A and B are shown apart, each in its own frame.
Chain A
Amino acid sequence: KQEVTQIPAALSVPEGENLVLNCSFTDSAIYNLQWFRQDPGKGLTSLLLIQSSQREQTSGRLNASLDKSSGRSTLYIAASQPGDSATYLCAVLNQAGTALIFGKGTTLSVSS
């Protein structure tokens, strides 16, 4: 059974720091991997999607990498801002493409 783990569970940093969020998964047979952002009381916003054949994706200050063979992904956030404060969720899509399996998230707090 696929399991997704995110470390750390919570992270507090001062504004301007670069930071890395980690995600690991137990079964490398995935369709893709997505990073989401969740704000309190809100739905999920997709940040980056990496297809299983890809190694990384970039969007603005965000960069996500995927090492499928080792079952790992990282989300790199450059020059963090208070507006980045949220919970970041990693999810892998099963090979059938029918279900996302989520980690429990990393709650990020960026102080000004």
Chain B
Amino acid sequence: GAGVSQSPSNKVTEKGKDVELRCDPISGHTALYWYRQSLGQGLEFLIYFQGNSAPDKSGLPSDRFSAERTGGSVSTLTIQRTQQEDSAVYLCASSPPTHTAIAKNIQYFGAGTRLSVL
């Protein structure tokens, strides 16, 4: 597709269940990022991928959170044993290779997945 695609757009789950959130970046974008936007909070960085590796995982809030990326494309963010404080909008972004001529490090965002933990 033309933009970053995230699915599902909305997810309601019960406390204690595991959830998987999916991100399809823009074709050809090598960098992928996950962010979280909680009610009343700003956007918080979670994890950064370059290709299939994650050199910066510093924003993951606990070991219940993990993410992977396969084939240098699709990424999945997994939250295990969800808690109510995990309720937020999870945003994914991608950016093109840094050697490209266009402005470096512009991140293109998806519409997000709204997660509600009951």
Check if A and B associate: yes
A: residues with CB less than 8 A from B are 4, 31-32, 34, 36, 41-46, 49, 51, 89, 91, 93, 96-105
| Distance in Å: Cβ of A40 to nearest Cβ of chain B | 11
**Which residue of chain A lies nearest to B108 when distances are taken between CB atoms in the complex?**
A46
When distances are taken between beta carbons in the complex, the residues of chain A under 8 Å from B84 are none
Whether A100 contacts B98 by the Cβ 8 Å rule is no
Seen from chain B, the residues whose Cβ lies within 8 Å of a Cβ on chain A are 4, 33, 35, 41-45, 48, 55-56, 58-59, 91, 93, 98, 103-112
Contact present for A46 and B107 (CB under 8 Å): yes
Question: A104: shortest Cβ distance to chain B, in Å?
Answer: 4
Find out whether the CB atom of B111 lies under 8 angstroms from the CB atom of A42: yes
Contact A98 to B43, CB < 8 A, known contacts A43-B4, A49-B103: no
Q: Which residues of B contact A89 (CB under 8 A)?
A: 42-43
Closest CB pairs A-B (n = 5)? A102-B43, A99-B45, A98-B56, A44-B109, A43-B109
